[in-house]
Structure 1
Amino acid sequence: GRQVHLLAEGRLVNLSAAEGHPASVMDMSFANQALGAEYMLISAKNFQPHVYTIPATIDKEIARLKLHAMGVRIDALTPEQDKYLNSWESGT
């Protein structure tokens, strides 16, 4: 007959037997996809066929909400820190 090979004790293989992403990471990925799709729908008239990145404002809002949900509080950047952060031209 037939055989069934049970992997990872029947759990989600990518979470228990590999280097898969946990739900705490996937929720941000899904939020990025959903808010990116919403942004694209709202702004569709401004787009040409092209690959676009998610606006930084959406990424930052998702990060802020995730940290808030985890009970993490962060400081606001000073104007000097913000200027420095946005002044780079190439990375390492």
Structure 2
Amino acid sequence: MIYYQQGSAEEVISKNTLKEAVFSSLEKLGKKRKVLIIPPDFTRFHSRAGEITEYIWEYYGKTLTDILPATGTHFAMTAEEITGMFG
């Protein structure tokens, strides 16, 4: 499992630092033929999973074949929630 640690409870991680963290973690995984991202749904908006998903998409490009929000027992995300979280 890949671990990444940065900051503290008081520190805010910038967009650039978050992107660098995602890219450095993905580089450790090596090349992939197909990638599926399973981010949390809109109820976890503040986790920054939408930003992280965008960075993973940017890193993998066409290798990223699908994004499947993990809704669990929540209702399906609305189009507005999907746009708000993932762009």
What TM-score do you get using the length of structure 2 for normalisation?
Answer: 0.28
Is the helix fraction higher in 1 or 2?
1
What TM-score do you get using the length of structure 1 for normalisation?
Answer: 0.26
Is the strand fraction higher in 1 or 2?
2
